Amino acid sequence: MTDSNKWYTQSGPDGDVVLSTRIRLARNFSDIPFVGRMTDAQKAQVEERVRDAVLNGNWALAGNFHYIDMEHCPHVQAVSLAERHLISPEFSQGAAGTALLLLEDESVSIMVNEEDHLRIQVMRPGLDLNEAYDTADKIDTLLDEKLNFAFHDRLGYLTQCPTNLGTGMRASVMLHLPALQELGSMNQLANTVAKLGLTIRGTYGEGSDAKGAVYQLSNQVTLGISEQAAIENLRSIAQQVIAQERNARKQLCADVRVQDRIWRSYGILTTARTLTVKEFTGLISNVRLGAATGILNIPMDVISRLLIDAMPGTMISQSKQELDAAKADLERARLVREALGANRP
């Protein structure tokens, strides 16, 4: 199992619906071309300067970061990093000149030479936008003193993609919305939030599916708006979605057939000898719904850990052995049985 001190092993505010909060800042050097036009030598220069600024900076967290050379990172470890939402799936491909600086508890990750020179990312459990932004802002300020980020008086922070101009900030919350999904409300919700400057996407962002009814709600507008205004807009809409999901859960879980499905899902997960990722994802979503509504008496942090531990890259990385698909399904079933079996309702 993952270390208990990792941020994602905890449950935060509104944790029955909100899995996590993320603040991500896109930043670029003022004296080096954007990533799309950089030479290999310039990529190496960016990597070296960022690494020095983070690891040798005059700040309390400097000694708590790990440096990972993504170009030479084992593929299974890179996949695990993406599963834990520490890097983007594209970044896991390990292009030349890419690197990751990762805080010990994994609440802060800094991608180097992704789409921009730096992607500063802060994660928090539950709905915790202010704390996440405050941490990201402090890191941004400290790094800017040494790295001199590209900034325009009218356009704000300059980024490779025009959609990030301005604040360069993407704020998002990860939501578990099984009731709204089952009641067929997701298309209407997506259309509504789009009119309010937000977007709702799948589990791993743009172009991904919502695995286990997990959705990502984030801001779209970065130009002509302050960071605080964007955060307050996201918080307000997120709280409305949370309220809608809770009401939908009351309606859904009053049905004995849904209660039966939750208990059956728990029964399968605690007795199965083999579990595919797809099967596990659907069943654990039902169990999480049961835990959140009091049908099952299972600590939410146990489920949060399983949502990471049972993913293919993370599971193989932690087992420290080669696992083919069949063996991985056996190992996944064992992990789940032990975790849920020790926490029986």
CA dist., res. 113 & res. 95, Å (int):
9
Q: How confident is the model at residue 312 (pLDDT cuts 50, 70, 90)?
A: confident
Q: How confident is the model at residue 343 (pLDDT cuts 50, 70, 90)?
A: low
| Residues 160 and 300 placed together within one structural domain of the fold | no
Q: How confident is the model at residue 56 (pLDDT cuts 50, 70, 90)?
A: confident
Q: What average pLDDT does this structure show over 176-202?
A: 93
119 annotated ligand-binding residue: yes
170 annotated ligand-binding residue: yes
20 annotated ligand-binding residue: yes
User: Token pair of 329, please?
Assistant: 């399904």
| Residues 37 and 142 placed together within one structural domain of the fold | yes
Whether residue 204 has pLDDT greater than 80: no
Whether residue 207 has pLDDT greater than 80: no
Whether residue 4 has pLDDT greater than 90: no
171 annotated ligand-binding residue: yes
Contact in structure between 77 and 92 (CB atoms under 8 Å): no
The dihedrals phi and psi of 215, each to the nearest 5 degrees, come to -120, 155
| Residues 196 and 264 placed together within one structural domain of the fold | no
Q: Is residue 310 part of a domain?
A: yes
User: Token pair of 135, please?
Assistant: 């941490």
Hey, which residues does 6 pair with through a beta bridge?
none
Q: How confident is the model at residue 181 (pLDDT cuts 50, 70, 90)?
A: very high
Angle of helix 325-341 versus helix 277-293 axis, rounded to 10 = 20
Structural domain harbouring 291? 256-341
Q: What's CA 154's distance to the chain center, in Å?
A: 31
| Residues 228 and 283 placed together within one structural domain of the fold | no
The dihedrals phi and psi of 272, each to the nearest 5 degrees, come to -65, 145
| Residues 212 and 290 placed together within one structural domain of the fold | no
24 annotated ligand-binding residue: yes
Q: Is residue 2 part of a domain?
A: no
205 annotated ligand-binding residue: yes
* Lowest mean pLDDT across 146-160, 213-227, 315-329: 315-329
124 annotated ligand-binding residue: no
Per-residue pLDDT of 96-130, as tens digits, reads 899 999 999 999 999 999 999 999 999 999 999 99
Examine the fold and report which residue of 193, 226, 249 is the final residue of a domain before the chain moves on: 249
Q: Is residue 21 part of a domain?
A: yes
316 annotated ligand-binding residue: no
| Residues 238 and 290 placed together within one structural domain of the fold | no
| Residues 194 and 312 placed together within one structural domain of the fold | no
344 annotated ligand-binding residue: no
CATH of the domain at 319: 1.20.120
| Residues 224 and 317 placed together within one structural domain of the fold | no
Q: How many residues does the chain have?
A: 345
Examine the fold and report which residue of 221, 249, 277 is the final residue of a domain before the chain moves on: 249
| Residues 172 and 267 placed together within one structural domain of the fold | no
Contact in structure between 238 and 198 (CB atoms under 8 Å): no
264 annotated ligand-binding residue: no
| Residues 31 and 139 placed together within one structural domain of the fold | yes
pTM reported for the whole predicted model? 0.90
Q: Is residue 193 part of a domain?
A: yes
22 annotated ligand-binding residue: yes
202 annotated ligand-binding residue: yes
Q: Are strands 151-152 and 18-27 parallel, antiparallel or unpaired?
A: unpaired
Examine the fold and report which residue of 249, 275, 296 is the final residue of a domain before the chain moves on: 249
CA dist., res. 59 & res. 236, Å (int):
33
pLDDT cut 90: percent of the chain above it: 73
Whether residue 160 has pLDDT greater than 60: yes
How far is residue 151 from each of residues 63, 159, 162, 167, measured CA to CA in Å? 29, 9, 13, 10
CA dist., res. 56 & res. 35, Å (int):
24
CATH of the domain at 119: 3.30.590.10
- The number of folded domains in the chain is 2
**pLDDT given for residue 334 in this prediction:** 93
21 annotated ligand-binding residue: yes
Q: How confident is the model at residue 45 (pLDDT cuts 50, 70, 90)?
A: very high
Q: How confident is the model at residue 231 (pLDDT cuts 50, 70, 90)?
A: very high
| Residues 113 and 229 placed together within one structural domain of the fold | yes
What's the chain's average pLDDT?
91
27 annotated ligand-binding residue: no
3-state helix, strand, coil in the chain (%, to 5): 50, 15, 30
Q: Is residue 1 part of a domain?
A: no
